[in-house]
Structures are given as structure tokens and as C-alpha cells.
């Protein structure tokens, strides 16, 4: 029976162990978390004034790459397929406004906290300290940025995950006869899968990412590392626009959406073929 176990999670990351799930399905989840889960990002920028050293296009690109909170937007705005084609369709876009200027002799860095939501406070930069532009003396930039839902496969700015990796679940075995208890493996282990507690090695295979650092530093060759064929470790790191749990759940929803789309197309094609 399929089993899912959450082995670690925090506001930015989640790691789950998937058992008795086909590899293709586990990998589809990983890909969907990067490419299919919709998020909000700026897609059009209207400049009212720009006397800075940077061209409009450069500033627009920087603004588009600022992650925007999308948790509520996901249920509030129309899907990317509707908005992509139709320009300013109702229910697609929300706007943010930025205005900054400097006096004579003044130089400032304009950060993302100056990008203010106009209609929807739930679509805003995830943090206020992302630099956008440096304004020199007596410079000004005023713009309106329009955001909509999109998918990572269209542009990376819409991807909710910064990392999504899938590995086999590790099998780690320590030969206690060879081990000198030098502790080097636990010092090098980046995930805490091998730790030294009271002078003894403690192993947690569910935390292992199979990086092999422990094997490389173990001169007595006391560690043997392999992996299970029926269990996978899926790790997702969020960019901050959605919680990692939401990315995972929404990935399943997106796969189901694509399968339904496929089913409907297949039914249509078959009924057309039958009617001809
Ligand atoms: S590096 Fe090798 S010898 Fe040293 S504690 Fe780890 S397993 Fe034992
Ligand atoms: S393979 Fe990497 S993550 Fe796994 S136990 Fe060794 S050092 Fe740690």
C-alpha cells in the first residue's frame, strides 16, 4: 500500500518518504512542484517615470523575479491558461505600485518593501529587503506592476520551489568492527543522517541525500552506502510564495488536472472517430 511519511518540515522545506509509489509518479510530483503549481508573479510593468541609470526593461525584469505571496491568490485568481491568452481579463491581474525618488546629492537603494499592493494585500513581496535599483542624486522611478498566476514551465519566476529533489531512500550500514569512532563522517554529513551522540554513531537513513561525503572521509572503509528500490525521498524547498505543504498537495492536484484533461481529450477524439 502507498505510504507517505513526513520526516522533516519547517516554514521553507519539507521532506517526505514515499513507499510503494511508482518511480514515475514520485518524479512527476517533483516536476509538478517546479513547473505546474501556479503562483503570482509580475508580468507587465507600466512606467510613469524612470530617470534612473537602468533601462525600463532591466527594472521590469528585476521586479518580475521578486517572489510574491500566493497562498490566497491561488484560490482567488483565474488560472494561467485563461490569463495568458487574454491580456487584462477580469479576475486575472492585481497591481502593485512603486514610487521612489532622491534629492540632490542623495543616493538610495530601493528595496522590495517599496512595491505596494494596490488592490490585494495578499499579493505582496515575500520580504522587504530584496534590492531592486540604486537611485543616484535627483533620480526618480514610478511604476505600476501587474501580477497574474503562471506556471514555472512558462517562466522560472512562477516556480514556487527553489529546489525539488528525488532520491532513493538510503541504506547505511556501519561496520562496528572497522569503525575507529573518529567522528569524521558525522562532521561531514550535511543533513544529520549520521551524528555522533555520546561517542557513538547514530544513523537516520530518512535524512540521507546520498551525497557520499561520509564514505569519502572514512579511511577504514567502515561505511557501506546503498539504497532501497521501493522507497523514495522527496525534498522540496519553497521560494516563500507558498508553504512547502501547499506545494506538495497542489502538485497532486495539478497532476490530476492534467490527467483529467487527457481523459477528456481522449474521450472527444474517440467519440469523433466513432461518429465518422
Ligand atoms: S568516518 Fe568511518 S571510522 Fe570514522 S566514525 Fe565514521 S564510520 Fe567510523
Ligand atoms: S551520504 Fe551524505 S547525507 Fe548520507 S549519511 Fe553520508 S554524508 Fe550524510
Domain ranges, ordered by start, for the chain: 39-158
Q: What is the pLDDT of residues 206-231, one digit of tens each?
A: 999 899 999 999 999 999 999 998 89
Q: Would you say residue 87 has pLDDT above 80? A: no
Nearest CA to ligand 2 atom 6: 214
Question: Distance from CA of residue 123 to its chain's centroid?
Answer: 17
pLDDT band per the 50, 70, 90 thresholds, residue 84? confident
Q: Would you say residue 95 has pLDDT above 80? A: yes
Q: What is the pLDDT of residues 46-67, one digit of tens each?
A: 999 999 999 999 999 999 999 9
Domain 39-158 in this protein, CATH class: mainly beta
Confidence (pLDDT) at 264:
95
**By C-alpha distance, which of 267, 204, 262, 189 is closest to 5?**
204
Confidence (pLDDT) at 12:
95
Nearest CA to ligand 2 atom 2: 211
**H or E element: which one contains 90?**
none
Among all bound ligands, the one having the nearest atom to the CA of 193 is: 2
CA distances from 127 to 119, 123, 251 (A): 18, 12, 24
**For residue 170, how far is its CA from the centre of ligand 1 (angstroms)?**
17
CB 93 within 8 A of CB 146: yes
Please, what is the average pLDDT of the chain? 94
Confidence (pLDDT) at 86:
60
Q: Which of 209, 233, 235 to mutate to test the pocket of ligand 2 (most atoms within 8 A of CB)?
A: 209
Q: What is the pLDDT of residues 9-41, one digit of tens each?
A: 999 999 999 999 999 999 999 999 999 999 999
Among all bound ligands, the one having the nearest atom to the CA of 209 is: 2
> For 49, how many CA atoms within 13 A lie in the half-sphere containing its CB?
11
Share of the chain above pLDDT 70, in %: 98
Q: What is the pLDDT of residues 234-275, one digit of tens each?
A: 999 999 999 999 999 999 999 999 999 999 999 999 998 876
Q: Determine the atom of ligand 1 nearest the C-alpha atom of 186.
A: 6
Confidence (pLDDT) at 273:
86
CB 135 within 8 A of CB 110: yes
Helix pair 23-35, 244-275: axis angle to 10 deg? 110
Region 119-139: what's the mean pLDDT? 97
- DSSP state letter for 158: G
Instruction: Encode burial over 143-171: b for 16+ CB neighbours within 10 A, e otherwise.
Output: bbbbbbbbbbeeeebbbbbeebebebbbe
**By C-alpha distance, which of 13, 23, 20 is closest to 166?**
23
Q: Would you say residue 178 has pLDDT above 70? A: yes
Cell representation of residue 15: 521532506
Among all bound ligands, the one having the nearest atom to the CA of 180 is: 1
Q: Would you say residue 77 has pLDDT above 80? A: yes
Nearest CA to ligand 1 atom 6: 185
What's the pTM?
0.86
Q: Would you say residue 162 has pLDDT above 80? A: yes
Amino acid at each position: 500500500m502507498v505510504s507517505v511519511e513526513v520526516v522533516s518540515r519547517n516554514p521553507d522545506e519539507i521532506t517526505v518518504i514515499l513507499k510503494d509509489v511508482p518511480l514515475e509518479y514520485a518524479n512527476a510530483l517533483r516536476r509538478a512542484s517546479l513547473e505546474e503549481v501556479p503562483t503570482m508573479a509580475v508580468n507587465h510593468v507600466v512606467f510613469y517615470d524612470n530617470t534612473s541609470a537602468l533601462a525600463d526593461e532591466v527594472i521590469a525584469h528585476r521586479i518580475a523575479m521578486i517572489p510574491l505571496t500566493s497562498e490566497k491568490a491561488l484560490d482567488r485568481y483565474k488560472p494561467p491558461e485563461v490569463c495568458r491568452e487574454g491580456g487584462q481579463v477580469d479576475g486575472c491581474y492585481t497591481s502593485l505600485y512603486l514610487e521612489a525618488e532622491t534629492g540632490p546629492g542623495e543616493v538610495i537603494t530601493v528595496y522590495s518593501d517599496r512595491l505596494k499592493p494596490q488592490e490585494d494585500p495578499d499579493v505582496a513581496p515575500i520580504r522587504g529587503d530584496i534590492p531592486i535599483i540604486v537611485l543616484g542624486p535627483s533620480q526618480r522611478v514610478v511604476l505600476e506592476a501587474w501580477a497574474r498566476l503562471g506556471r514555472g514551465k512558462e517562466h522560472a519566476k512562477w516556480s514556487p520551489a527553489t529546489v525539488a529533489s528525488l532520491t532513493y531512500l538510503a541504506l547505511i550500514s556501519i561496520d562496528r568492527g572497522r569503525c575507529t569512532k573518529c567522528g569524521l563522517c558525522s562532521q561531514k554529513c550535511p543533513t544529520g543522517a549520521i551524528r555522533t551522540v555520546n561517542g557513538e554513531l547514530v544513523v537516520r537513513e530518512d535524512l540521507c541525500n546520498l551525497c557520499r561525503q561520509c564514505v569519502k572521509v572514512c579511511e577504514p572503509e567502515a561505511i557501506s552506502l546503498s539504497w532501497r528500490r521501493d522507497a523514495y525521498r522527496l525534498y522540496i524547498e519553497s521560494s516563500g510564495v507558498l508553504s512547502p505543504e501547499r506545494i506538495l498537495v497542489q502538485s497532486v492536484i495539478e497532476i490530476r488536472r492534467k490527467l483529467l484533461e487527457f481523459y477528456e481529450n481522449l474521450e472527444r477524439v474517440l467519440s469523433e472517430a466513432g461518429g465518422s
